[in-house]
């Protein structure tokens, strides 16, 4: 069951193209129109008013309940005062011009301009409540504001806003510089869990840079013979964003082996390829907001579909509002009726329930099975349930118990096949 082929061999028309690249582009436009959290950065406004920018930054609230640092100490008001002051709200003007930039490496988006983790429970180190998400390398972002210490930018990526380290974002001259670089037909997509550029002892900026599944990396058309005193033969020559001493966008060249798990252009959108991509992540560490170098449940779905060219919303509740072929699980359905719904659902569909998203992989023994990136499940112990931590990507029965003792399938609210 941990091999994609186990499920693929039972799927009819498994290699049929579900949607072409042109169809996926149109689908992404529908997502922008339907989901408020997803933006077309090319058409973003040139500036924000005082009220608009302030409201974006203040979407993140200081916790009202008692919170803890990693060492177990209670978070005091002076820390909150510091991060509020560093948010630099008094420097917001009546009119605030935006800037365009590109991430030069994978970076985190935080609730506040501070790297210190904050937890809701003493002793917890899994769920940093100030960690919002990660942002892949080579992603366009819009810089909306700068922190007081100038170490953080408040940015808008295509599907999220938050504070990112300024050292991870190169500032472009204008929008055209960003999209002239990104809008190329010559690119590879990372289809493995992670790949790295070749080591370059002459330039750390392009040496062993990590790219995660779904990252789109532009290629250099005019291939040089050597880079970093290494022959380019046997490698893709990739054109990478970097920054000069003032933080401005420049471009450099790096190498990625042709034997790495990458694909020239987007992966053809078939059911076999959806499952193949998902099963490459078996055993990968769960990370809330993509912490620990991992993914959480919704980014697991998002990055798999990114390899086909989809630009899905970040969070599960937002993804559930996407267009597509939708199947609803009403509250009154019995267990048998819920299982019956899967007569219609195709493997590779995303399954949603409050606070979680999974992928349907197929039926086995009359039971729907799922692959998901999840924190854990429950086992009955007398008249109570014990929580069993998992914290990884795994295939499970949909009858597995959630932490409150209810089977996953009985909490499903909808299934979406991302297709028209």
pLDDT for residue 307 is more than 90:
yes
Structure confidence at residue 125 (pLDDT): 95
Q: Residue 65: which residues within 8 A CB-CB, separation 6 or more?
A: 120
Question: Of 419, 319, 356, which Cα lies nearest the Cα of 37?
Answer: 319
CA diameter of the chain: 69
Domains in the chain with CATH codes: 4-19+315-417 (3.90.1720.10), 41-181 (2.30.30.40), 184-264 (2.30.30)
Mean pLDDT of the chain: 97
Q: List, for residues 126-141, the tens digit of each pLDDT value.
A: 999 999 999 999 999 9
Banded pLDDT at 142 (limits 50, 70, 90): very high
| Contacts of residue 416, Cβ cutoff 8 Å, sequence gap at least 6 | 319, 320, 322, 324, 325, 326, 327, 349, 350, 352
For residue 215, count other CB atoms closer than 10 A to its CB. 23
Distance from C-alpha of 177 to C-alpha of 169, rounded to nearest angstrom: 14
Q: What local confidence, expressed as pLDDT, does residue 247 receive? A: 97
Per-residue confidence (pLDDT) for residue 277, from 0 to 100 = 98
Q: Give pLDDT, residue 140.
A: 98
Whole-number percent of the chain with pLDDT over 70: 100
Contact in structure between 405 and 379 (CB atoms under 8 Å) = no
What is the C-alpha to C-alpha distance for residues 326 and 345, in angstroms, rounded to an integer?
Answer: 9
Burial track 379-400 (b if 16+ CB lie within 10 A, e otherwise): eeeeeebeeeebbbbbbbbbeb
Which of 243, 37, 44 lies closest to 133, judged by CA?
Answer: 37
Q: Which of 391, 365, 397, 395 has the alpha carbon at shortest distance from 376?
A: 391
Residue with tokens 């058409």: 43
Q: For 41-98, what is each residue's pLDDT tens digit?
A: 999 999 999 999 999 999 999 999 999 999 999 999 999 999 999 999 999 999 999 9
* Residue range 327-370, pLDDT digits in tens: 999 999 999 999 999 999 999 999 999 999 999 999 999 999 99
pLDDT at 310 over 90: yes
Cβ 310 vs Cβ 267: under 8 Å: no
Question: What pairing do the DSSP bridges indicate for beta strands 356-364 and 414-417?
Answer: unpaired
| Position 34 pLDDT exceeds 90 | yes
Q: Quickly state the pLDDT bin for 4 (edges 50, 70, 90).
A: very high
Nearest to 190 by CA among 236, 155, 231, 222: 236
Q: Under a CB-based contact definition with an 8 Å cutoff, are residues 383 and 405 in contact?
A: no
How do residues 189-244 score in pLDDT, each as one tens digit?
999 999 999 999 999 999 999 999 999 999 998 888 999 999 999 999 999 999 99
Is the pLDDT at 30 greater than 90? The verdict is yes
Per-residue pLDDT at 137 = 97
Which three-class secondary structure state does DSSP give residue 233?
A: coil
Exposure letters 131-140 (e unless 16+ CB within 10 A, then b): bbbbbbbbbb
pLDDT of residue 223: 82
Tell me what percent of the chain is helix, strand and coil, each rounded to the nearest 5: 25, 35, 45
**Residue 221: predicted pLDDT:** 85
Name the residue with tokens 């061999």: 9
């Amino acid at each position: 069951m941990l091999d994609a082929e186990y499920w693929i061999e039972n799927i009819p028309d498994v290699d049929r193209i579900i949607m072409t690249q042109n169809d996926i582009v149109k689908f992404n436009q529908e997502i922008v129109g339907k989901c408020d959290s997803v933006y077309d950065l090319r058409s973003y406004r040139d500036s924000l008013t005082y009220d608009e920018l302030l409201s974006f930054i203040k979407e993140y609230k200081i916790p009202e309940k008692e919170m803890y640092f990693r060492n177990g100490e209670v978070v005091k008001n002076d820390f909150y005062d510091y991060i509020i002051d560093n948010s630099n709200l008094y420097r917001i003007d009546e009119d605030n011009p935006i800037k365009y930039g590109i991430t030069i490496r994978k970076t985190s988006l935080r609730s506040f301009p501070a790297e210190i983790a904050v937890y809701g429970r003493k002793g917890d180190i899994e769920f940093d409540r100030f960690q919002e998400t990660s942002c892949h390398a080579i992603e366009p972002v819009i810089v909306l504001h700068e922190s007081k210490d100038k170490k953080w930018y408040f940015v808008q990526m295509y599907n999220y806003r938050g504070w990112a380290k300024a050292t991870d974002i190169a500032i472009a001259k204008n929008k055209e510089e960003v999209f002239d670089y990104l809008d190329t037909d010559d690119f590879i997509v990372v289809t493995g869990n992670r790949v790295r550029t070749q080591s370059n002892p002459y330039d750390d900026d392009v040496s062993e840079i990590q790219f995660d599944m779904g990252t789109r990396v532009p290629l250099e058309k005019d291939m040089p013979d050597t880079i970093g005193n290494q022959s380019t033969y046997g490698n893709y020559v990739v054109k990478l964003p970097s920054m000069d001493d003032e933080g401005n966008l420049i471009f450099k060249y790096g190498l990625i082996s042709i034997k790495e798990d990458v694909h020239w252009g987007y992966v053809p959108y078939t059911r076999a390829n959806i499952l193949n991509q998902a099963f490459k992540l078996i055993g990968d560490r769960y990370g809330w907001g993509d912490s620990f170098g991992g993914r959480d449940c919704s980014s697991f779905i998002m990055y798999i579909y990114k390899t086909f060219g989809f630009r899905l919303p970040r969070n599960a509740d937002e993804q559930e509002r996407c267009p597509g072929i939708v199947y609803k699980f009403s509250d009154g359905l019995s267990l048998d009726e819920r299982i019956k719904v899967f007569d219609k659902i195709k493997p590779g569909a995303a399954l949603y329930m409050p606070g979680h998203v999974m992928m349907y992989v197929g039926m086995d023994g009359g039971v729907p099975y799922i692959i998901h990136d999840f924190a854990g499940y429950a086992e009955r112990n007398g008249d109570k349930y014990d929580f069993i931590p998992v914290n990884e990507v795994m295939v499970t029965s949909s009858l597995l118990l959630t932490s409150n003792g209810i089977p996953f399938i009985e909490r499903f609210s909808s299934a979406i096949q991302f297709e028209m």
